[in-house]
Structure 1
């Protein structure tokens, strides 16, 4: 198939692009199409700087020379954009302030990692100046607009990045998030926003807003695309003082999803958004989640600290010398916000830190009720003209349900959740504990799918449930002592394992308690006779490299083979050799290891 025969989708998701590459589309032909789309874009405020057309084609040619086999690198040929507070070697970093601009000598760590994985940079995108704002209008380069209605804001501060993905110019784009800048623009443009837990993605080469809480985020068409991209950016970076070695927190198979109580639901008169939030809750329920209400008060009070406390002083610290010399060159609203940082003392900073920790303790009481939180990404949306007329009050609305997340160290994924009768997009965000980034993804992806919003401008795009090996991970089913809460479960969690789901085998397996094993272990063996039901198993996702080490530690007579699940899928899982069943007790009637263990405990008592 020739390049000319290729018809690219409106929005450039990874699955579609990889299929096109496998069928003969070249990265050179793809970037030529992207260039045509950028030239034809109706929104002139998206980019602050584009990669020169000839240089972009040259980068595509160099990729094909370096890795000639299609899809031979994780992000082979994927076009991407970066927010213009992130360094790209040889390009200016402006942070949407021309007088501040400098030419970066090297790529930011995240940009370097993405390029090494085969991604092709197309340009640097517009933003609220110095990443201060959630609306996208605070830039001398213009105000990007929601792709669904040009009268409305795109969201910020990562305004241009969100629009590049939603309008089909990029397969993914990088933003940054201090107060919600990687989530609110996703909601206003019907795309996904992946906000990592603070510290797991290095910020070296990123101009800080609030250095202690900033994160680099990913805008994408699907959760799978966003998580796969984030996984490539992941990893400790010694040059970033806030970087850390991140773990992989697990979540239970059946989630308790925390939702706002009526007293905490504020939509500022936006009845369409209020209705869509209710619908998102019901979709979560239909997906099997247990819906529980939680008290938003400690999170709301923590959110207020970000702009009504001394964290504003961090914004001043990031650009203090420039501010002292060139404040008059700044956007007036941004200048006034950052100037407020000078009003706080060291005593104020310590007192605010103490207050944050008090609120963290109160939040733990709410986390005891829920595994994840389901929140409106933004309770409202505004026109560009209204925002310019009332830039502070209206902007603050957008952060009501986002500002707390980085202060408290949480993971979050924002997904589309419907459209109002006026055709304006709405989104919700799943918030999880620190390092539950991968564990959040499957449910977030299903929420996106069942909302039937498509992605970006393509409202008919079918959204597939996330493949759990999207970031080079493999799945294995466990049936006994490796189950959640059982003695050997740490062998999974310590290797970065995340729980995918609890399910059952097909009804063709006998289940045994093996004799003489410590801790007690079961054995699973396929039979030709059909049982009443299958055996309960948990499917876990492990990094490919870790899975080999995990399997090597499995003692005889257990081994790994292919298990058939109740829905017909086949996954790797534990099986037992026939010789190991000597003296074993048939426990098939219990339907699972937990029920059997509970029966033995009851007998012992």
Structure 2
């Protein structure tokens, strides 16, 4: 089954017409992954037995004619809990951990009839923007295997871009869906904070994390969000507002849409060719009837610094639970309880995770709290006000998703600041809890360039409407990776 040539609607019709059964589709998907994944290394493990059981259940009950996800295989980022299936967050410290329940998003998709086929690779505990910090393997970019795939949702982005599955789940704390979506030329959506449940998602930074999805097309992406979104009694941060049909506004009409282009998102550090391609894409939106103005988001420049203080502080708190006592890896030959804690965490966590725990613990300490954590929280408030001021007059913000295209492995390993700056354009969306989507806007040196569309809180419909109009006008999704 070639998922690069079949969208969800086409697959749904084939299942309904009995051209293929859910079991056959799942078997073909698993076979395709086994054949191609040596090239991409997108998966930590496959859920073969569970997937075939779920597919057989769909066939026995009959494919749901009113549900486009019924019988459709998909992949799950390995920081999202799957009952009785190993969930590692790509960390040694969780090796062998099998959860006793499913995350709400997995449960929602199972009720929709979707078939989870495997757990995808990521930066350890979702901390990283290149896909290089996983304990298990290094995922390769779908377009050029000598380039990074982006992170932290590296495996989920690549498995969709490479045509192994029609859609995949990811999580986004500071750009971890949009950045790998940009590097791999697909559609990646980070919904509004509270739109999708985080219950059963291994926490990095609880006030910033959000589950989202990767697809090849905008319509597919909207259809998946229909199944994921909604209030969850187990997650008190989820919104109780009604969930619309996100596919209903996809008509290609954006006449009169008011688009803001923030000058700070085109500043120093953003590649010149990326700027040119994004400006051309904005001109395409204008040609479709949108009204475009330049605006300012003046506190953007403080976003990376504030994010790494706040995110690391929350991470240092969230990761205290991994101590070798209840689950996962446990260091051997410890002579005391304290030594067990220290050795388990020393051996179990990678360098990037340790670095963020240390930064977060320091910023929460008595001597540094006022200077760092409190100031970062104040900056976050100012960034939120910047967005509120813009959305008082505009429907959408459009900008690059990343400052550059995918680059070579190890290229910036001696300068973590450069790696951190790869998230400079995506971090503000998480700080403000807004929906943000990355869509392919063109190519530079044969690699995709991502355009980011940012909506007001809970305005995913507006984001999808503009993205769909652009997609249908350019048909860039028809260009697929050839591989190198």
Any idea what the Cα deviations from partners look like across 1:235-270, whole Å, max 9, x if unmatched?
Answer: 111221322213579999621111133x65136373
Contact 2:130 2:152 in 1 (8 A): yes
SS at structure 2 position matched to 1:35? helix
Distance 1:280 1:208 in 2: 35
Corresponding residue for residue 424 of structure 2: 400
Q: TM-score, normalised by structure 1?
A: 0.70
Shift of the alpha carbon at 1:272? 2.5
Name the residue aligned to 1:122.
Answer: 117
CA distance in 2 between counterparts of 1:413 and 1:83 reads 18
2:177 maps to 1:192: no
More helix by share: 2
- Within 5 A, what are the aligned runs for 1:175-574? 175-246=170-241, 254-261=256-263, 264-266=265-267, 268=269, 270-307=271-308, 309-322=309-322, 325=342, 326-345=345-364, 346-347=369-370, 348-387=372-411, 389-390=413-414, 392-420=416-444, 422-454=445-477, 457=480
Which residue is 2:73 aligned to? 79
- Contact between 1:280 and 1:451, CA under 8 Å: does it hold in 2? no
| Total equivalences in the alignment | 448
Distance 1:235 1:241 in 2: 12
Secondary structure of the structure 1 residue equivalent to 2:29: helix
SS in 1 for 2:89: coil
- Is the Cα–Cα contact under 8 Å of residues 12 and 221 in structure 1 kept in the other structure? no
- Superposed CA offset, 1:506-527 (max 9, x none): xxxxxxxxxxxxxxxxxxxxxx
Structure 2 residue aligned with 1:501 = none
C-alpha separation in 2, matches of 1:311 and 1:72: 40
1:154 deviates by 0.6
Q: Is the 8 A contact 1:12 1:168 kept in 2?
A: no
Separation (CA, whole Å) in 2 of partners of 1:119 and 1:248: 19
The match for 2:42 is: 46
Name the CA distance, whole Å, in 2 between partners of 1:51 and 1:165.
17
CA distance in 2 between partners of 1:43 and 1:391 (Å): 28
Larger deviation: 95-104 or 381-390? 381-390
- Decide whether the 8 Å contact of 1:175 with 1:182 is kept in 2: yes
Change over 3 Å in CA distance of 1:36–1:137 after alignment to 2: same
| Matches of 2:413 and 2:203, distance apart in 1 | 28
Segments ≥4 residues shifted beyond 4 Å: 247-253
Q: Report deviation, 1:407.
A: 1.4
**When the two structures are superposed, what TM-score results if normalisation uses the length of structure 2?**
0.86
**How far 1:222 sits from its partner (Å)?**
1.2
Tell me the CA shift for residue 10 of structure 1.
2.8
The two structures, once aligned, show a CA RMSD in angstroms of 2.4
Deviations 1:41-80 (A, max 9, x none): 143521111012x4433321111112x1464534111111
Q: Point out the more displaced range, 294-303 or 24-33.
A: 294-303
**SS across alignment from 1:337:** helix
- Partners of 2:318 and 2:118 in 1: how far apart? 24
Looking at structure 2, the residues matched to 451 and 301 of structure 1 have their Cα atoms a distance apart, in angstroms, of 34
Alignment of 1:128-143 (within 5 A): 128-143=123-138
Moved more, 20-29 or 221-230: 20-29
Deviation at 1:328, TM superposition (A): 3.5
The equivalent position to 2:159 in structure 1, one of 164, 175, 178, is 164
**Range moving further from structure 2, 345-354 or 229-238:** 345-354
Distance 2:227 2:108 in 1: 7
Give the structure with the larger strand fraction: 1
Unaligned runs of 5+ in 2: 324-340
Q: What stretches of structure 1 of length at least 5 have no aligned partner?
A: 1-6, 460-605
- 2:337 alignment counterpart: none
Q: Distance in 2 between matches of 1:75 and 1:411?
A: 22
Name the structure 1 match of 2:169: 174
**Residues 12 and 68 in structure 2, CA contact (< 8 A), matched pair in contact too:** no
Cα pair 1:191 1:456 within 8 Å, conserved: no
Contact preservation (8 Å) 2:304, 2:420: no
Q: Which residue of 1 aligns with 2:338?
A: none
Higher-RCO chain (CA-CA 8 Å, sequence separation at least 6): 2
1:117-169 deviation line (CA, Å, top 9, x unaligned): 01001000000001011111111222212111111111110000011111111
Counterpart Cα distance in 1 of 2:47 and 2:459: 35
Q: Does structure 1 retain, via aligned residues, the 8 Å contact 2:399–2:451?
A: yes
In 1, Cα distance between equivalents of 2:300 and 2:112: 37
